[in-house]
Amino acid sequence: MRAQIWVSDVVRALEVARTDEERARVLEMLGFVPPAVPDAGQVMPFAEPEGPRAPFEAPRRERRPEPAHEPPPATAAEEETPNADVPEELPLLPPVRVEAVPTPREPVRPLARPTAERVPLPHLPLFVPGWTSAILRAMVSRRVPEGAVDIPALIDTLAHGRPVRRLPRLPLPTMRYGVQVLVDRGPGMQPFRRDQNELLDRVRAVVGPSLVEVGYFSGTPQRGTGPGARWTRTAYVPPESGRPVLLLSDLGLGGPPDDPQRGTRQEWEHFVGLVTRAGCGVVTLSPYPPRRWPRWMTGLLPLVSWDRTTTASRATVRLP
């Protein structure tokens, strides 16, 4: 493909030329006039080329002007070609070889089709799973004087000259009294529903299903407690004497601040009074950190933090 020569190229070349002879030579070399020997005093006018001519390269040295000659007549093939500068379409080359795509050794399994079945997300319990049983035993066990003989207490009785009517024994934890579990279903405990249900299963496994009494409530137990739906709940009744009460509640710390169903301090004081007069002890598992517990709450009943920092030694409480 040859480069095109425009009029602007001619103008630039003529500006560089100094004499008329050089200008004529430039026009001749650029193909705008046929080669001829211009007269010294005659100025060559600009002339349009009669047909497309091949551009000449600038010679490296001066040559004597050649006599003018007529361009050769165009052939039939050149006349049929609309533009000799436009390259013809190149033919496609046949491929040398075709490489086969290697198949994978292990077939790719297609994705499963979406279904309406909901798969539960993995759950991380609030207690360390390996410590949960020991924590529950420390919380719901009662200490009864059924251990070994308390030698220091026996010596003290004899030294003071008092009669020994019964051998003093060391306290021993036991779970034969069972436990009453009260589950708070209020708005503040809604994020911990799954933890409550799983902890109930662990309590039944540790204490025994026949010794576990379950009651659900919302707000406070006095507003209605029962093992079933809310419309089946009745007034709260404390358990039999000696049975501890495990309370799974936030005691009104969570939930909306303007919730009218939230339990008040007076209601919780009344509840603890009912349980204590029945000869039972109560302990609370709270999912909120101790820094959020008010002073009246920690002085009212034992609280255990329901998180992964709790161990069996920290959960040990003294129940009557």
Rounded to 5 degrees, what angle do the CA atoms 78, 34, 3 make? Answer: 55
| pLDDT for position 215 | 95
- The DSSP H or E segment spanning 201 is helix 193-207
| pLDDT for position 60 | 54
DSSP 149-183: B-HHHHHHHHHTT---SS--B--EEE-TT-EEEEE
CA 178 to CA 123: how far, in whole Å? Answer: 28
CA 282 to CA 301: how far, in whole Å? Answer: 7
pLDDT per position as a tens digit, 174-225: 999 999 999 999 988 999 999 999 999 999 999 999 999 999 999 899 999 9
Residues of the chain scoring pLDDT < 50: 1-2, 40, 46, 56, 84
- The DSSP H or E segment spanning 282 is strand 282-286
Q: Which tokens belong to 254?
A: 């969570």
| pLDDT for position 44 | 53
